[in-house]
């Protein structure tokens, strides 16, 4: 199977930008995803990027993709307390199976 790796923890001050990094291994993934999980809840799709794109911006979210290095990042601008959660990056196979990273726990401090 594919290995998707993420840093486990990130602490950020409210109002600052958060950057979460991820590396993946399956170069054939057509899409790469970022999901958010709040405590005791399921996964919420935040954004995704097509593999032939370098960047995608969606309001406060910016996704950067370096396909050569298989590196994906998610930047959250103006981080708010409601952004405290676990963030998972994921890659998808041709049969719609998602492989997730271990998740990055983001803690927003006042």
Partner 1 sequence: GAVVSQHPSWVICKSGTSVKIECRSLDFQATTMFWYRQFPKQSLMLMATSNEGSKATYEQGVEKDKFLINHASLTLSTLTVTSAHPEDSSFYICSATTGGGPDTQYFGPGTRLTVL
Strand ordering across the sheet containing 5-6: 5-6, 18-23, 71-76, 61-66, 55-58
Q: Which helix (H) or strand (E) holds 32?
A: strand 31-37
Residue among 27, 44, 66, 81 that touches partner 1 (CB under 8 A): 44
- Rounded Cα–Cα distance for residues 89 and 9 (Å): 14
Q: Which CB atom, from 16 or from 58, has the smaller least distance to partner 1? A: 58
Shortest CB 22 distance to partner 1, Å: 12
Least distance to partner 1, CB of residue 42, Å: 4
Smallest Cα–Cα separation from 47: which of 29, 37, 67, 32?
32
Q: Is 53 in the site for partner 1 (CB under 8 A)?
A: no
Looking at beta carbons only, is 42 or 82 nearer to partner 1?
A: 42
- Minimum distance of partner 1 from residue 6's CB (angstroms): 9
59, 82, 96, 110: residue in contact with partner 1 (rule CB under 8 A): 96
Q: What are phi and psi of 19, to 5 degrees?
A: -130, 120
| Number of residues assigned to the chain | 110
* Residue 46 in the binding site for partner 1 (CB under 8 A): no
Q: Which residues bind partner 1 (CB under 8 A)?
A: 30-31, 33, 35, 40-45, 48, 50, 88, 92, 95-103, 105
């Amino acid at each position: 199977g594919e290995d998707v790796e993420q840093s486990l923890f990130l602490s950020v001050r409210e109002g600052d930008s958060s950057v979460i990094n991820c590396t993946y291994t399956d170069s054939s993934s057509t899409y790469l995803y970022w999901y958010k999980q709040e405590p005791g809840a399921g996964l919420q799709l935040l954004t995704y990027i097509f593999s032939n794109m370098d960047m995608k911006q969606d309001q406060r979210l910016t996704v950067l993709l370096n396909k050569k290095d298989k590196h994906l990042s998610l930047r959250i601008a103006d981080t708010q307390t409601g952004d405290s959660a676990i963030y998972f990056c994921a890659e998808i196979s041709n049969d719609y199976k998602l492989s997730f990273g271990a998740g990055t726990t983001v803690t927003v401090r006042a």
